[in-house]
Structure 1
Amino acid sequence: MHEESKPAFSFNFGAAAPTPTTTTATALQFNPVVTVPKSVSLPTTSTSTARKEHRALFTVSGMEASSTVRPKLESPWRDVEWTAEQRTNLMKTVSSYRPSSGEVTQAQVLLLGPVGAGKSSFISSVQSVFSGRVTNRAMVGSSSSSSFTKKPFNILGQKGEDPTGVVLCDIMGLSDGEMTGLTLHDVLSVIKGHVPVGHKFSPDQPVTAETEGYVRRPTLQDKIHCVAFVVDASKVLTYPKGLSSTFQQLREHISDLGVHQVALLTQVDKICSETAKDVTHVYKSRIVQDMMSKAGALLGMSTSYIVPVRNYSSELNLDVNTDVLLLSAVDHILQYADLYFQDNTAQDMESVKFKN
């Protein structure tokens, strides 16, 4: 078994990784027998482009799908109340949320996923709901970067209210340049609470006890209480095959730390034209339902942990139904964050300290 200081893998949030060995190249081959729904059109690529896509673990070109030939389901597979009253109720639920543990004031949620999956957009969209207008943060994590930083974002309450009890933590590349990837060891160091806010990661300089600001004895507040994987629905079929094993290996290590995991399936409006027109159709869309199953297979996760999301992008005004979907996702995350606190009560904390 590898020790964390010798990461079992690294994953790329930006530029293409160095040319892999024969073994690695094989791990990143696309599955030639993947069945593509009739409504999905895969882009044709040259041989050289295909090689680049195999080498860059998280930078494979996306694709858009159309649901024009896919009928809607007669009834939704999940029930959602699409009303302004429900939006208000969900806002109150999130605003009033406080961790069930008296040792912490906010639940820290780490967003993990490929570049362009919609992590930053999700944070911006949730912040927009509470600010009352669409506000987009700079998408600094959408291009290749030479460094990563741990940056938490408070979800502020409505005007005049205190911040909510949830913090969304993003790991982004902030500067241009070549990059080889973030190691498993460093991701787990973030989750364990050893990494200080604002720390810049470098693949050739793993986090150690000598790292500036290293938290030697992390408190419960320093740790990550829930991990939300973020995947782009329009790219699920074109992610490299090796990405699935990467996700599943990462999930196994995170589970060993007792941290629950959920997933956000973004860009659902790009794969379903009906959902693009009216987001209330999301749970009646056969193609969204199928893509959630494929995302579950990619992550090694039951679809019961996965929720679809439509982020704000070019919109100028908020939409009640989009807000309901976003707030439902946050509420879903908080339920699993609270499970962490229930699992790690004061008397249980001693038994898990050896993991640090």
Structure 2
Amino acid sequence: MQNERGEIIGSSGFNFLSTLPTTNTTAARFTIGTTLVNDAPSQITSKSSMGRKENRSSYRFPDMEVSSAAQPYLVSQWRDMEWTEEQRTNLMKTVSSYRPSCGEVTRAQVLLLGPVGAGKSSFISSVQSVFNGRVTNRAMVGSFSSSFTKKPYNIHGQKGEDPTGVVLCDIMGLSNGEMTGLSLHDVLSVIKGHVPEGHKFSPSQPVTCETVGYVRRPSLQDQIHCVVFVVDASKVMSYPKGLSTTFQQLREHISDLGVHQVALLTHVDKVCPDTAKDVTNVYKSNIIQEVMNKAGALLGMSTSYIVPVKNYSSELNLDVNTDVLLLHAVDHILQYADLYFQDNTTQDTELPKVKTSY
């Protein structure tokens, strides 16, 4: 749909504008929510903006309420999970001993993406709490309208152990339609490894080759090796309708870079009271299974890539079962990070080629 000035107007998370009658699509502009980035690179232009003036409608859930099943639990767990102290110990050893399968890289860099308040920072703090042996908040946690800095958190092993081979990277949240949020251009710049550690994002100052500390020729270590989308289970059916399109367009462009993606479904204790009382009910709950299906539709992702988690928030002490769920999520992430190394390294340890021309 066009207005009288020839602008293409859509209801999705990204807004694509062009001026008629020109047919040049390389100067398309992108936003997540209402954050505008000028002169975005042509290689990240969405298919809907490449000469086709179409309005891509976002996904709408057929049922906006989670149906209450007659039986609150399934007969058996719909995913196998051991809830024991031994399983917790085994998972801690697996994560602590993890090292990337590529000799050129010493740590796997994982980028967490999601709306503000979805639980990205809380997940990082919760995982670190497991290894610290007590609940701690290292990452900045809270419901802020925006967060600005690219900050990597190296997950340290237990006392006396070396740091693990995984780094969780937290950046500002995706916009829900306000004047905050990352642009598609900036997200891809982070994944490609161009954005320096500690960079402060600003909607009015997109990342360019003139950005202070800009990495012109990123190495494999500089790049992101797995992307984790984080969504709040209690908000899956109330997120703005354009967010589904935002997620799916992000996934399309990230996939083009060869980076695997998984998802975390946070705050599962808020949608299922029985899981709030006992986290071992998470894979027996019909409610959570249905919410996970909704999350898969929101993301355009199979539920096999999605894992539920319960972050530590008001607790003062650790819980074995909560730890198992968190550690299982990290192990799930690392499996896909290693797939990236397998896909992008050869016998000669040749680095993957990353386009640097914008």
TM-score range with shorter-chain normalisation?
Answer: 0.7 to 0.9
Structure 2 Cα separation of the partners of residues 88 and 7 of structure 1: 49
Structure 2 Cα separation of the partners of residues 93 and 259 of structure 1: 22
When residues 350 and 151 of structure 1 are mapped into structure 2, their CA distance, relative to the original with a 3 A threshold, is closer
When residues 2 and 318 of structure 1 are mapped into structure 2, their CA distance, relative to the original with a 3 A threshold, is farther
**Match for residue 234 of structure 1?**
234
What letter matches 1:129 in structure 2?
A: V
Check whether the contact 2:59–2:245 (CA below 8 A) recurs between aligned residues: no
Structure 2 Cα separation of the partners of residues 319 and 12 of structure 1: 41
What letter matches 1:312 in structure 2?
A: Y
**Match for residue 42 of structure 2?**
none
The answer for unaligned runs of 5 or more in structure 1 is 14-25, 40-66
Structure 1 Cα separation of the partners of residues 317 and 141 of structure 2: 23
Structure 1 Cα separation of the partners of residues 329 and 180 of structure 2: 32
When residues 121 and 102 of structure 1 are mapped into structure 2, their CA distance, relative to the original with a 3 A threshold, is same
Q: Which moved more, 1:253-262 or 1:164-173?
A: 164-173
What letter matches 1:96 in structure 2?
A: S
Deviation at 1:148, TM superposition (A): 1.6
CA displacement 1:16-44 (0-9 Å, x = unmatched) = xxxxxxxxxx98989485341244xxxxx
Deviation at 1:349, TM superposition (A): 4.6
Structure 1 Cα separation of the partners of residues 25 and 110 of structure 2: 26
**Alignment of 1:104 onto 2:105:** yes
What letter matches 2:117 in structure 1?
A: G
TM-score, normalised to structure 1's length? 0.81
What letter matches 1:10 in structure 2?
A: I
Deviation at 1:182, TM superposition (A): 1.5
**Match for residue 80 of structure 2?**
79
**Match for residue 333 of structure 2?**
333
Structure 1 Cα separation of the partners of residues 305 and 255 of structure 2: 14
After TM superposition, list the pairs within 5 Å mapping 1:96-245 onto structure 2. 96-137=97-138, 139-140=140-141, 142-145=143-146, 148-172=148-172, 179-245=179-245
When residues 101 and 286 of structure 1 are mapped into structure 2, their CA distance, relative to the original with a 3 A threshold, is same
SS of 1:264 mapped into structure 2: strand
Deviation at 1:143, TM superposition (A): 1.1
* Richer in helix (by share): 1
What letter matches 2:203 in structure 1?
A: P
Structure 2 Cα separation of the partners of residues 208 and 165 of structure 1: 30
Check whether the contact 1:268–1:309 (CA below 8 A) recurs between aligned residues: yes
What letter matches 1:266 in structure 2?
A: T
**Match for residue 57 of structure 1?**
none
Check whether the contact 2:58–2:242 (CA below 8 A) recurs between aligned residues: yes
The answer for unaligned runs of 5 or more in structure 2 is 1-23, 36-54
Structure 2 Cα separation of the partners of residues 348 and 256 of structure 1: 21
TM-score, normalised to structure 2's length? 0.81
**Match for residue 272 of structure 1?**
272
**Match for residue 319 of structure 1?**
319
Check whether the contact 2:344–2:352 (CA below 8 A) recurs between aligned residues: no
SS of 2:214 mapped into structure 1: coil
Over the aligned positions, Cα root-mean-square deviation in angstroms equals: 2.4
Which of residues 30, 43, 52 in structure 2 aligns to 1:8?
Answer: 30
Structure 1 Cα separation of the partners of residues 179 and 244 of structure 2: 21
**Match for residue 20 of structure 1?**
none
**Match for residue 36 of structure 1?**
65
What letter matches 1:326 in structure 2?
A: L
- Number of residue pairs the alignment of both structures matches: 310
Structure 2 Cα separation of the partners of residues 135 and 204 of structure 1: 34
